[in-house]
Structures are given as structure tokens and as C-alpha cells.
Amino acid sequence: MNEADRRYLAAATQQIEALLAARAAKPLQPTGLSEGLQPFAERLDALLESLAALRRLSIALANGDLAHETPSGSHLLGPLKQLQSSLRHLTWQTQQVAQGDLEQHVDFLGDFSDAFNQMIQALREKRLAEEKIRYLSEHDSLTGLHNRAFFDTELARLRAKGTYPVSLIIADLDGLKRVNDELGHHVGDLLIQKAAQVLQTSLGPDDVLARLGGDEFAIILPGAGASQADTVLARLRTAEANANRKEAVFPIHISLGAGVASDPTDLREALRRADEAMYADKAERKAASGDRSQRR
Amino acid sequence: MIPAFGTQYDFQWTDLGDIELGRPNLGQQMPVVVYRLAQYTMREALSKRYGDEVAGDILRESGWIAGRELCINTLDTSKPLTAFLADLQSKLKELGVGVMRIEQADLERLTLTITVSEDLDCSGLPVSGTTVCDYDEGFIAGVLHAYSGQTFAVKEIDCWATGDRTCRFAITPDNAAA
């Protein structure tokens, strides 16, 4: 053993001590060692290099630094790099969940996988419950149409931003009180459902139909002026007649009235005009019906 | 990358045949060793005739065609990218190709880093010091091309054959090929 060998062994011992004390160590790159020691020193340097990289990666992971770049080709780093990869993927998955993707599933992190998947399942159930609550808050349970709350929200939205003119139609099912009193509420409910179907089938995909309550319905026709509203009224009349031809036992009679708003400030007034027109239609239909009875 | 297509033969999905009809007893499964035997003996034959670099290119191009065909024939390309990647992940696992994970995805720049563990091509290979997943590189580029219509450069950064336990691929738009 020469002097260079002795100095190297002392330095190597210090590096190993440093590693054992969780401090940084670095390769020694010795030269001039005796023939037996030089290859050993080179392999020890490779080991020190790997262990130093392993230490840096361990510290980075312990500190939550997933972006830490690691050298390729070291078997010693393999398991930790796999953990780093799993945590990076988990980060990505969590970002997807944050953006609303509840299809993410973890199956590579032991007990944590179960906990994560249970959390996702709970979020899915919460989302379903929220969707159900939202549906119920916006829809009428008897007809499945939108309800008054949705209609009011939609009007508010149109006041804030909408394509004008906007036409509003009020529809009222005639004689519902009499049917309820004489034939029972279950028959009245059937008539309301039938009226809802007739109204629904006559509208376009952008039109909004709501049951405001009892026998009253309202329709919003975005972007429709007076002539388009008249066309829809005519279509509703035809649908009503067709429905009554098919089902003569419990015919429905719907009074209709339309109002047109030319800008957002005119919406409330248009609704009032539609209401008035509906009552005028109801009176006219009643008078016509009386005339027909008298003629008979 | 996009391979230079020949005129002699264009792969069709139907060329894979009716496996259920043809293998009523042996079925769809076979050992990984058979796949690797085919892949690495083909690599040797190609390398001997054309050299290592061209052999790698040919494997990459065949992987590209396989990725494109798998995507067109088995995946829903109408889904948003994240949902598509989730489907791809499931498909690769179901087929035993590997466990794919996304480490990083910049959906605006279309740059991704993905890893494939238990890779069909390389996991468990002797460490040679060089990446060997040329076929996988092409495969990933082909899948993404079929999904997006864009060309991608896929480079394997880590590989079992370079001493890592997980294959890692850097994916970027291939502006040079566009």
C-alpha cells in the first residue's frame, strides 16, 4: 500500500461517514492508486455518485419537490423514481378531479388508493345529489317542465343579456277547477300533464316552457318578434286541436296570449301584455262556447 | 414523425383476422416472451441488413402504424384529451401493454411526459445502457396523431434497459414534420 492508497482510504472513509450521517458525499476520482485499489476506487466512486443522487432524490421527495430531475441509469434510484412517477401522476389525476373529472381511479399506492377512490366515489355521490337538488329546484314535479323559479331566473338572465326582441306567451288551462271539483284532482293532474305535452311539442329547442303553478304556463321565445309569436300561437292551437281529436274523453282547452319585448326594460310590460291577451282570449273562447251552446 | 408509407402493403385492422374463430382453444392470450422473441429477433434481422439506426426507425414506424390503428379501431377519439388519455390508460392495461401514467400534461402546448411501467417491450431486459423502446415511441406518436391529427415527436428518456424501472417518454409537437 503506497501513500496515495492510504490518503485515498482516509478520504473514502470520510465520504462513507458523511453518507452514514445523511450528509452529502461526492466521488473522489483518485488517480495513481495501486493496481489492486484503483478498480475498487472507481466502483466506489460510482456507488458514491448513485448514493448522492439517491440522497438528493430522497430529500426532494420528503420535501414534496416532485419536479426534481434525476439522472438516468441508476438502479439504486429505481424504486424512488417509481414513487416520484406515481406521485406526479397522482398530482395530474388530482388536477383532473379539480377540473371536474370524477372518473379518475388510483390503483398503485396501496391503502392510499382505497382512500382516494373512496373520496372520488363520495364526490360522485355528492355531485349526483347536487344535480338532483338542482333539477328539483328548477323543475315542476308533475309535468317535468321548468318551474316558476327557473322562469324568473331566465327572465333575469334575459334582462342582463339576451337577443331581442323576445316574445312571451302565457297559457292557461281552462276549466281546471271544475274538473278538479267534479272529477277529482287525479283527472285534473292528467289534464295538466296533457296540456304540458301539447305545449312542449309545439316549441323549438331554444324556447323555454315553464309551469308557473296551477293551471298557468309561460313560454319564452328568445329572438322572436310579433309575427314569430303569432306563428307559435297558431302551432299551439293546431297541437291542441290534434290532441283533442285523439283524446275526446278529457279534451283540453288552453287560453293563450303573447307579448313582445323589444329590449330588456320592456320584459315586465311584455309579460303583462301577454297576461291581458290570454284573459281576452279566455273571454272570447268562453263567449264563443256560450254562443255554440245557445245555438245547440 | 409520420412513416413513409409504401405501396406494396397497407395494414388493415381486419388483417389481424378472427382470433376467436382461429384459436378456439388457445384464445387471445400468449406469453410475453413470445412477443419479445418476435420483436427482438426482428430487430436483429433488421439491424444486420440495414444497421442499428435504420432498424430502430423501422420499428418506430411500425409502432406508429400500430398506435394509429389501435386508436382508430378501439378508442373514442371524440372525447376531450384528458378523457381520451384515461381511456388509453385503461386500454393499455387491459391489453397488457403496460401501466401508463401521465406525469405532466400541458394541454395548450400539447406537451406531455408519460411513464409506462411493466412495459411489454422492455421491463426486465438486461441493462444495456441504451433505450430500446423505439416501437413504443412510434406507438405513442401514432395514437396521438390518430386522436389529434397532429404530428408528435416522442423521445424515450428513461428505460429499463438504461437502468430505470419505469419507461419515461417526453412528447412534444413535431413541428419539423408538420
Position A258 confidence tier, pLDDT thresholds 50, 70, 90:
very high
Cross-chain residue pair B127–A103, CB shorter than 8 Å = no
Cross-chain residue pair A86–B168, CB shorter than 8 Å = no
CATH number for B68: 3.30.1380.20
Cβ neighbours of A108 in B, within 8 Å:
99, 101
Q: Which residues 109-128 of chain B have a CB within 8 Å of chain A?
A: 113, 115, 117, 127
- Residue A295: which residues within 8 A CB-CB, separation 6 or more? none
The predicted structure's pLDDT at residue B2? 66
Count of structural domains, chain B: 1
CB of A113 within 8 Å of a chain B CB? The answer is no
The model's pTM is 0.71
Cβ neighbours of A120 in B, within 8 Å:
none
CB of A88 within 8 Å of a chain B CB? The answer is yes
Specify whether the CB–CB gap between B60 and B154 falls below 8 A.
no
CB of A104 within 8 Å of a chain B CB? The answer is yes
Position A279 confidence tier, pLDDT thresholds 50, 70, 90:
very high
Instruction: Compute the distance between CA of residue A76 and CA of residue A78 in angstroms, rounded to an integer.
Output: 6
Residues A7-19 have a mean pLDDT of 93
CA-CA distances (angstroms) from residue B21 to B14, B91, B172? 13, 23, 41
Q: What is the domain range of residue B147?
A: 14-173
Task: State the CATH architecture for A146-295.
Answer: 2-Layer Sandwich (3.30)
Residue ranges per structural domain of chain A: 3-95, 102-136, 146-295
On the question of pLDDT at A293 being above 60, the answer is no
Cβ neighbours of B99 in A, within 8 Å:
108
Q: Is residue B60 part of a domain?
A: yes
Cross-chain residue pair A88–B103, CB shorter than 8 Å = yes
Specify whether the CB–CB gap between A196 and A236 falls below 8 A.
no
* Long-range own/partner contacts, residues A18-25 (CB < 8 A, 24 or more apart): A19/A48, A19/A51, A19/A52, A19/A55, A22/A55, A24/A52, A24/A55, A25/A51, A25/A52, A25/A55
Instruction: Compute the distance between CA of residue B2 and CA of residue B174 in angstroms, rounded to an integer.
Output: 10
Cross-chain residue pair A104–B129, CB shorter than 8 Å = no
**Residue-averaged pLDDT of chain A:** 91
Cross-chain residue pair A73–B162, CB shorter than 8 Å = yes
Q: Which residues 2-41 of chain B have a CB within 8 Å of chain A?
A: none
Specify whether the CB–CB gap between A175 and A254 falls below 8 A.
no
Cβ neighbours of B105 in A, within 8 Å:
92
Cβ neighbours of B115 in A, within 8 Å:
85, 89
ipTM value, please give it. Answer: 0.75
Of all residues in chain B, the percent with pLDDT exceeding 70 is 94
Chain B nearest-CA distance from A34, in A, is 29
Cβ neighbours of B83 in A, within 8 Å:
101, 103
Q: Is residue B95 part of a domain?
A: yes
Cross-chain residue pair B129–A82, CB shorter than 8 Å = no
CB of B157 within 8 Å of a chain A CB? The answer is yes
Cross-chain residue pair B166–A85, CB shorter than 8 Å = yes
Cross-chain residue pair A73–B165, CB shorter than 8 Å = no
CB of B102 within 8 Å of a chain A CB? The answer is yes
Instruction: Compute the distance between CA of residue A273 and CA of residue A234 in angstroms, rounded to an integer.
Output: 18
Cross-chain residue pair B166–A103, CB shorter than 8 Å = no
The residue whose grid cell reads 482510504 is A9
Q: Is residue B9 part of a domain?
A: no
- Residue A7: which residues within 8 A CB-CB, separation 6 or more? none
Cross-chain residue pair B83–A108, CB shorter than 8 Å = no
pLDDT tens track, chain B, 178 positions: 666 656 677 888 988 999 999 999 998 889 999 999 999 999 999 999 999 999 999 999 999 999 999 999 999 999 988 889 989 999 999 999 999 999 988 888 889 999 998 999 999 888 888 888 999 999 999 999 999 999 999 999 988 888 888 899 999 998 765 4
Q: Is residue B4 part of a domain?
A: no
- Host H or E run for residue A217: strand A216-222
CB of A124 within 8 Å of a chain B CB? The answer is no
